[in-house]
Amino acid sequence: MYRKLIATAAAAATLVLGAAATASANGNVTWQSVAQGTCLGNSNNNDAAMKGCSDWAAQWYDQQESDGSFTQHVRDNASYCLAAYSDHDVYVEKCTANNPWQRFYEKYDNSRGIWRLQHVATGWYVTVYNNGYSIGVDPFNEPDNKQYFR
């Protein structure tokens, strides 16, 4: 079972206990869809996509920013980051400093042990669509588990 993994033991212990409201350390992460079982990744053409969770491209480096949001860097090429725009698409593009289109709040639901990624610029949430491999950002839809990650 995949969980949002954080490199430091202290942060990992906090996640296991379910006491964290957001992640608290920089480190490697994997975002697995609760609904589909696939993982958020970087495709060969630098677009964001859902992939098999054992795929190297499904791993990110999570960097906390001064405003409490996080930048998701492509783990094997840290100069590229996850980004989303008001067209609802999710991309991987060259990282730029202080870019709200490349930042996400990590919302933890303590009672269910699951995460949501809220896009800073739009306020929308990363959503995995029915085929399990397409993603976008959409307004929050509470009964829809397509917006939850482990």
Tell me the residue range of the domain where 52 lies.
9-147
Contact 86, 122 (CB under 8 A): yes
Alpha carbon distance 100, 114 (integer Å): 24
Residue 55 resides in a domain: yes
Residue 24 resides in a domain: yes
The mean per-residue pLDDT over the stretch 124-143 comes to 87
Residue 2 resides in a domain: no
Q: What's the helix, strand, coil split of the chain in %, to 5?
A: 10, 40, 50
List, for residues 69-118, the tens digit of each pLDDT value.
999 999 888 899 999 999 999 999 999 999 999 999 999 999 989 999 99
Q: At 18, is the secondary structure helix, strand, or coil?
A: coil
Alpha carbon distance 60, 29 (integer Å): 5
pTM of the model: 0.81
Alpha carbon distance 49, 143 (integer Å): 23
